[in-house]
Structure 1
Amino acid sequence: MLLQGAILLGVPFLSRRLARRGLLPDWLSPVVLCYATGILLKNTSLFPLNDPFSTTATEVGILFAIPLLLYATDLKRWLSHAGSSVLSFGLCVLSGVVATLAAAYWFLNDLPDTWRLAGMLAGIYTGGTPNMQAIGLALKAPQETIILVNAADVLLGGVYLLLLTSVVPKWLKAVLPEFQHDKAATADETETDPYQAFSYGHAIRAIGLTMLVIGSALGLTWLVYGQLGQLAFLILMLTSLSLAVSFIPTVRNWENTFETGEYFLLIFCVALGMLADFQSILEKGLGIVQFTAVALLGTILLHLLLARLFRIDRDTFLFTSVAAIYGPPFIGQIASITGNRQLILSGIAMGLLGYAIGNYLGIGLAYLLQWLLQAYTS
């Protein structure tokens, strides 16, 4: 278990160092590297892994990652300047909701608790995998279901990511208009570096504040329910308190809170990869893979159709699709592929907005769908 812990802490640090020094190819981001490492260790059995330890690491990682990723959120500024990015992101979120609802009804008689699956996948297609894990815990989904949904998402999301970084940008030129570059873009917008010099002092303060936020969310949950088992309320309180803290200028201006949150996110990615047993998917989770495939393909195609109708340009479509489905850590990767640095800030902003609303949306959608399905089948 000591070796497993060292890998969980070391691989994220190493992946970020390699990225900051430009030693990773464009198609390989730190997130992909961390996922791949965990998956490789799980499916090659190089040494025995402790699954409960990996599960605990995912839970701790996500509890710390959510607040840290949200501290830098300046919702007012981003929403007032994001323009077509807000529209495209909203269309992608809408597409995800519609696609997961359709999948839930489609597989109603083939899979148990499709309302949970729909809520978890809606979270993925709003802000990425961290939302799925949080929503799964909040909805009290069985751990095996969370693991299988994650593995299916890694498998299918990996295929889409490979296409995004190869042929899709070229194909989209025939469907969507070109991005109109703004020559008057500010230096901040054109020269943003996601891996600038790290401020350890601010990072330590942010971690300390995060412990306080987590403690406050736990305290409020205990105060309202007399227990900590109400995970839906806990996750929503964690998200709400984190957003509330982001309105404090001092906190919002701390350097590297996002990068610190990304480090915990990368720990989460390695641990989650260690739980992705593809043999188990083939034996137990083929239905979940099919559900995920329908939801993901539906989200992509519906988002593309709406983008065409609303004349969203190609780059904005790509950035917001990546922001919604994969989250902010992948924005730098898609910027490298498209060569467009003007959308980095708005792409990260939309990804952070996805983190912020994904938990509310996924949990709310799941319970609404549960009620609708009960009414439909009764």
Structure 2
Amino acid sequence: MENTIIIVQVSIYFLIPIIAQYLVRLRFFSWLGTVALCYVAGFAMNLVAVNWRIDVAQSIAEIVIPIAIPLLLFNLQFFAWLRCTRTVIIAFVLATVSAIASTLLIAPFFLQSHPEMWKMAGMFLGVYTGGTPNVASVGLALEAQESTFTIVNSVDFVVSAAYFVFCITLLKPIVQKWLPRFDLDIPDPHVASSEKSIPQAIFVVVLAAMIVAISCGVSFALFAKINVPFVMFGITALGMAASLVEKIQNIHVSTYLGDYFILVFCAAMGNVTNISKMLEQGGSTLYYCILVVSTTVCIYYVLCFVMRIDVDTAIITSTAAIFGPAFIAPVAQAIGNERVVMSGLTAGLLGYVVGNYAGISIAYLLYQFS
């Protein structure tokens, strides 16, 4: 019986994007977009009286994104992309400054709320400048207790889930009123060609899987484990290298397949989302996290307005800083510009490095006042 549920569960994840592609053409659903629609559909699975396996949902999410990233990079116009790296780096600096500033502004008021609040502040800062993997590295460096890891991960999951939904639905319509449009001349892979074939599809999926396998294999060889930052770096580098091969770059079905795997990811993540966790966590840590994220985002977009960062680069860089590389592709699709995927991945990889140093340094600074 359990195996049957797992098969049905996985099948639903892979069917939801197909159904969503048709539903989004209807006027009633068109405003929502395919990414948000898949996320909502995945969440709606929780309303059915079936004990879905959360570990299965998490496994699917962890598998499809590494495959989706090279698929989206295969059509990358590398030399055209180089023209926007300066803007991305500036935006990432603004995101880092915003996260540090909000931490220094808010953390002092919460230092007495928990014995390890100064460590939590550093761990949250690591997350919001480089994504979830930084929780482990910053926490280990600060010798945080196991219970502290649990609190930070749970609260971060709830707040990040809420912000992710905001990113894929309302964020761009709001900030595009003040930020410039993305106007760099980078070809859109969706309009480059309508040619699609099954042999090509099989080839690029196998190639993407090989890239993931190679990255994981090298990670095991060097670290005896899956080192997430290293694997993401390997996937990005190999995907980008493959895009330099003209025959691979011209297989435009890879972009559509990448989109599909992203939507599968969104369906699985929607199924994982549990709003009751927010009610269970409560307490000052949740309030702290909400305040830090909100303040970080506000400061960041004000700075982007001052520096005239275009709307799509601003959104994708913020996504990279707060969520890390795994969420770049879904947000890029949601804002309707997958030409910024490579820029987002670049910022996300920078965040892995900067987030660790920032989190540890600011934590010890706050410790002096705790």
TM-score tier by shorter-chain length is: 0.7 to 0.9
Aligned to 2:316: 323
Which of 56, 59, 63 is 1:56 aligned to? 59
User: CA offsets, 1:69-98, max 9 Å, x none?
Assistant: 222222321233x5xx963x4443223222
Alignment of 1:77-156 (within 5 A): 77-80=80-83, 82=84, 87=87, 89-105=88-104, 106-107=106-107, 109=111, 111=117, 112-123=119-130, 132=131, 148-156=155-163
Structure 1 residue 57 displacement after superposition: 1.1
Residues 2 and 254 of structure 1: is their aligned pair in 2 closer, same or farther, counting only changes over 3 Å? same
Q: Which residue of 2 aligns with 1:70?
A: 73
The verdict on how the C-alpha distance between 1:348 and 1:32 changes in structure 2, with shifts beyond 3 A counting, is same
- Check whether the contact 2:103–2:121 (CA below 8 A) recurs between aligned residues: yes
2:341 equivalent in structure 1: 351
The equivalent of 2:213 in structure 1 is 215
Please report how far the alpha carbon of residue 14 of structure 1 lies from its aligned counterpart in structure 2 after TM superposition: 2.0
Counterpart of 1:28? 32
| Alpha-carbon distance change, 119 to 148 in structure 1, aligned in 2, over 3 angstroms | same
User: Following the alignment from structure 2 to structure 1, what is the Cα–Cα distance between the partners of residues 69 and 139?
Assistant: 19
Q: Deviations over 1:200-255 (max 9, x none)?
A: 33221111112211221122123223x12433333332333222323222222221
Secondary structure of the 1:39 match is helix
State the alpha-carbon separation in 1 of the partners of residues 165 and 221 from structure 2.
Answer: 42
> How far did 1:331 drift?
5.3
The question of whether the paired residues in 2 share the 8 Å contact of 1:91 and 1:303 is answered with no
Provide the C-alpha distance between the structure 2 equivalents of 1:192 and 1:57, rounded to a whole number of angstroms: 25
Distance 1:137 1:58, change over 3 A: farther
Structure 1 Cα separation of the partners of residues 217 and 12 of structure 2 = 32
The answer (yes or no) to whether the contact 1:72–1:246 under 8 Å persists in 2 is yes
Distance 1:295 1:12 in 2: 33
- Report the alpha carbon displacement of residue 258 of structure 1 after superposing the two structures with TM: 2.3
Q: Which amino acid aligns with 1:265?
A: I
CA pair 311-273 structure 1, distance change in 2 beyond 3 A: closer
How big is the shift at 1:17? 4.1
Shift of 1:7: 1.0
Normalising by structure 1, we get a TM-score of 0.73
Match of 1:250 among 247, 251, 267: 247
Secondary structure at the counterpart of residue 122 of structure 1: coil
Bigger drift between 23-32 and 52-61 goes to 23-32
TM-aligned CA distance change 1:195 to 1:37, over 3 Å: farther
CA contact (8 A) 2:301 2:314 kept: no
> Partner of 2:248: helix, strand, or coil?
helix
Q: How far off its partner does 1:50 sit?
A: 0.6
- State the distance in 2 between where 1:53 and 1:371 align: 33
CA deviation map 1:105-141 (0-9, x unaligned): 5448354544443333334xxxxxxxx4666688899
Does the residue aligned with 1:61 lie in a helix, a strand or coil? helix
Structure 1: any 5+ residue segments left out of the alignment? Answer: 124-131, 336-346
Residues 199, 220 of structure 1: alpha-carbon distance in 2 compared, 3 angstrom cutoff: same
Length-normalised TM-score, structure 2: 0.74
Contact preservation (8 Å) 1:91, 1:306: no
Q: Which runs of 5+ in 2 are unaligned?
A: 1-5, 141-148, 320-326
Q: Which residue of 2 aligns with 1:15?
A: 20
**1:222-241 maps to which residues of 2 (within 5 A)?**
222-225=220-223, 227-241=224-238
Residue 261 (structure 1) aligns with: 258
Listed one character per residue, the Cα deviations across residues 243-292 of structure 1 (whole Å, up to 9, x for unaligned) are 23232222222212222122222222111111111101221266565455
Counterpart-to-counterpart distance in 2, 1:195 and 1:144: 48
Letter in 2 for 1:41: M
